[in-house]
Structure 1
Amino acid sequence: MKKYTLLLFLISLLLSCTDTQQEQTIVQKIANANGFENWEDVKELRYTFNVRVNDTLRTSRAWTWQPKTNMVTLTTPDSTVTYNHKTEAAANEKTDQRFINDQYWLLFPFHLAWDEMEWEHTEEATAPISGEQMQRVTVTYPGGAGYTPGDQYEVYFGDDHIIREWVYLSGGSRENPFPATWEDYKDFSGINIAQMHRSKDGSFELFFTDVSVE
């Protein structure tokens, strides 16, 4: 009787694990491939957001984010601003807009798990920069949500669920699509971060330096 009970338990456990794997959506797989399960352990995240256009550094701003307390500090050559992202965003709207933009580039795979949005999965699609065949997820944000409502992203990734390229469509419009690479990945305490994003011709580079995760 004990052996029979144990067998039923093992079968139930196996079926439960199988169901969990089947229920995991493609966007959850992308988030997990970048270490989403480790995010709850992060106490502090530091990074510098940089934009270079035609070999000229146009933007460089350093961030310190403590996600457990929601405290954010922005440091630029001109000033330092510290505020609470959850309770003081409205009073620091310009800074908060920058914070959302910059950490969105840094942690977009996690936003696939965090955010409310619609998505559609295509198993075979041609990536816009490399021309390679990859999987694609098209992400659409609802109108009226956030600082840039209605934005859309076409996300290209391999069988490892790591993003390689994307196309940003402001407001969902295809008039001025903005494709960029996702490359130079590095593991920071279990958080996988793409440190470089380039346009097809290389004239635009958005990259992160001084990244640290505690």
Structure 2
Amino acid sequence: MRKLITLIMLSLAIISCNQEKKKKEEVAKDPNLEVHEKIAMANGFEKFDSISQIKFTFNVKVNDSLRAQRRWVWNTTTDKISLTEKDSTMSYTKKDSLAEDKKYIDRRFVNDSYWLLFPYQLKWSDAKLSEVKKAKAPISEKEMSMMTVSYPSEGGYTPGDSYDIYFDDDYMIREWVYKSSDGKRESPSTWEDYKDFDGIKIATMHKSKDGSFELYFSDVSIEE
């Protein structure tokens, strides 16, 4: 009986892998999708509308010292967002105009959720997208497809910033380089440890080349 159960589980895993492979191939070959849309779709963008709530913890570690840890609960239906930080919980509802005391939370939520769901921002935001070219990734030094994502010089919390994103043939981002608008800062980091939450794919770990910087997500849960 145990062998039968194991065989069934193995068969289901193979079927799931085959379905996932087929889906990736369909996305990659779809002539109706532009590159940025293929990246979003490869990460499960089409599943987002069925989500009712996302929970995640945003962590930043520098040289083995935990510099930031923020726990978020985002009700995507009502846009109510709660932040727990240092044993204090604050909430707000995301809308066009925010009171000054809510901007503290919103600024951090925009940053943290941007890292969490950046592939979806390629569909949601008004970023300017460059042509795709082949380039050597800054950390792995592997040749990948590269596209620059640039934001307007006005509006938002970090106007004028840009990102060079490096992605593979499956349209999954593997590395990126953040560039500040003043040109004084460039920060390359990895996109790794992807986890699949019922079709929503999230890179849960981002590291600098020397490993001294880690930005990672823990306690991620997604509810429909």
- The whole-number CA distance in structure 2 between the counterparts of 1:156 and 1:185 is 15
* Matching of residue 131 in structure 1 with residue 126 in structure 2: no
**1:154-181, CA deviations, whole angstroms, 9 ceiling, x for partnerless residues?**
00000000000000001162x3210000
- The whole-number CA distance in structure 2 between the counterparts of 1:111 and 1:48 is 19
CA contact (8 A) 1:26 1:121 kept: no
Alignment of 1:32-47 (within 5 A): 32-47=41-56
User: In the alignment, residue 86 of structure 2 is paired with which amino acid?
Assistant: P
**3-state SS in 1 of match to 2:211:** coil
- The whole-number CA distance in structure 2 between the counterparts of 1:41 and 1:119 is 27
- The whole-number CA distance in structure 1 between the counterparts of 2:98 and 2:141 is 40
Deviation of 1:143 after TM superposition, in Å, equals: 1.1
Partner of 1:149: 159
* Matching of residue 115 in structure 1 with residue 119 in structure 2: no
Deviation of 1:21 after TM superposition, in Å, equals: 3.1
**1:1-28, CA deviations, whole angstroms, 9 ceiling, x for partnerless residues?**
xxxxxxxxxxxxxxxxxxx932311000
**3-state SS in 1 of match to 2:90:** strand
User: In the alignment, residue 163 of structure 1 is paired with which amino acid?
Assistant: I
Deviation of 1:56 after TM superposition, in Å, equals: 0.6
| Structure 1 spans left out of the alignment, 5+ residues | 1-19
Tell which deviates more after alignment, 157-166 or 112-121. 112-121
Partner of 1:55: 64
Structure 1 residues 90 and 139, CA gap change in structure 2 (3 angstroms)? farther
Give identity over the alignment, percent: 51
Deviation of 1:78 after TM superposition, in Å, equals: 3.6
| Structure 2 spans left out of the alignment, 5+ residues | 1-28
- The whole-number CA distance in structure 1 between the counterparts of 2:79 and 2:96 is 9
When normalised by structure 1's length, the TM-score is 0.87
Structure 1 residues 83 and 103, CA gap change in structure 2 (3 angstroms)? same
Partner of 1:12: none
User: Any runs of at least 4 consecutive aligned residues in structure 1 with deviations exceeding 4 A, and if so which?
Assistant: none
- The whole-number CA distance in structure 1 between the counterparts of 2:126 and 2:87 is 35
For residue 39 of structure 2, the aligned residue among 12, 30, 43 is 30
CA contact (8 A) 1:157 1:165 kept: yes
- Indicate the structure (1 or 2) with the bigger Cα radius of gyration: 1
Partner of 1:106: 116
- The whole-number CA distance in structure 2 between the counterparts of 1:66 and 1:160 is 30
* Matching of residue 158 in structure 1 with residue 168 in structure 2: yes
**3-state SS in 1 of match to 2:130:** strand
Structure 1 residues 192 and 62, CA gap change in structure 2 (3 angstroms)? same
When normalised by structure 2's length, the TM-score is 0.84
**3-state SS in 2 of match to 1:171:** coil
**1:63-90, CA deviations, whole angstroms, 9 ceiling, x for partnerless residues?**
0001121100000124111110115634
Pairwise CA RMSD of aligned residues? 1.6
